[in-house]
Amino acid sequence: MRTCFIVLICTAGLLAPVAATASGTLTGASNAMNPALSVNGLFVAETSNDRDDAEVNGARLQEAELHMTAVVDPFWTANAIFSVAPREDDASSFDIIMEEGNVEATSLPWGIGLKLGKFFLPFGKHAPLHTHQYAFVESPLGVASFVGAGLTETGAELAYALPLPWYSDLILYAMNADTEIWDQDDRDPMFGARLSNLWDVSDDATLELGGSYMRGPGSAAWHGFAGDFRVSGVDLTYKWISSSSSHGPALNLTAEALFPDPEAYDGSPLGWYVMGQYRFHHNWWLGLTHGRADTDETGAPTAWNGIGETWESKLNFTFAPSEFSGLRVEVSQYDDRLGDADDLRFSVQWNFTIGSHPAHSY
């Protein structure tokens, strides 16, 4: 009995400093306020019948993302997302960029939202997505050709839900024009707006109609013209998710069109895609898409680095055994730039998420 008591006292003595250290009072080091942390890894293995370069033949890391999110204080939450991706000119080296770094106000009155920092522009349905959220291996041509595949800028965004009988959210933003589609030497900012409206068609289905517009100093290197670059877009999404069984059937149908309008260009370029995803079994999705990018060359044949008129069709199957991993097999057919030979690609893509990753938006 006495031995037990001595052991207890000694044990308490040994453990006490640990408890004090864990609280951080003495050391100032505590993990209690650490941000939620997650890592997403996205890999792809591809082969092409038209191109024999390493970019589309072989396996590679498509992108890895480190995501941190936390409450800053009673007034702000913050996000930081770092992206690691292989360099285009040297797949053995990697670029690390800060994809997003922003704070969002949590205490403004009247339901006003304010975001400050660097973030994806809310232009259309596809452009704001992170790579691991794509329904297909690559971004649609109709979007990537005209506004790039990673439209992140630094600035401010205001949001307000309009008091209408349906969900209607208006977002206005003013940002630095830093990405490749803008003239980076011109210090004029870019501006944009998005209005998205959503209706509950039934308990299980929604219909969303969105309109987007942005304007800024155009990049001659990107689309061939100096002067203002304006682009508008419209998107329509129908979603149906069976509510009667967990992981039951689900259907997403999206159509999006972009109307780029460089100031010095007489043509009428157009980019569009339609895509559908259907969950036909607990963990299995079928995806199908077709899209086009057309610069309407009547104005200038060199526009958009010689995209000309090009189209793509893709079919894929995705197996997602949980919300944190997925394996995708995809066949894609591209009509190559300016009418070159067709490109048939076969891709296998896999991704995983570890840590505490915030849920994606609807």
Residues that bind another protein (CB under 8 A): 71, 74, 77, 104, 106-113, 159-164, 166-167, 169, 196, 198-200, 203, 206, 208, 239, 241, 243-247, 282-283, 321-324, 358-362
Indicate the residue among 106 and 176 with the shorter CB distance to another protein: 106
Backbone phi, then psi, for 305, in 5-degree steps? 55, 35
Task: Name the residue nearer to another protein (CB basis): 85 or 171.
Answer: 171
CB of 102 to another protein, least distance (A): 13
Nearest-approach distance from CB 61 to another protein, in angstroms? 22
Q: Minimum distance from CB of 71 to another protein (Å)?
A: 7
Beta bridge partners of 214: 192, 231
Query: Would you say 70 or 288 has its CB closer to another protein?
Result: 70
Beta-carbon count within 10 A of 248 CB: 13
Min dist CB 163 to another protein, Å, is 3
Instruction: Name the residue nearer to another protein (CB basis): 32 or 359.
Output: 359
**Smallest separation, CB 246 to another protein (Å):** 4
Question: Of the two residues 59 and 71, which places its CB atom closer to another protein in the complex?
Answer: 71
- CB of 114 or CB of 286, closer to another protein: 114
Which residue is associated with the tokens 């999404």? 237
Residue 255: CB minimum distance to another protein, A: 19
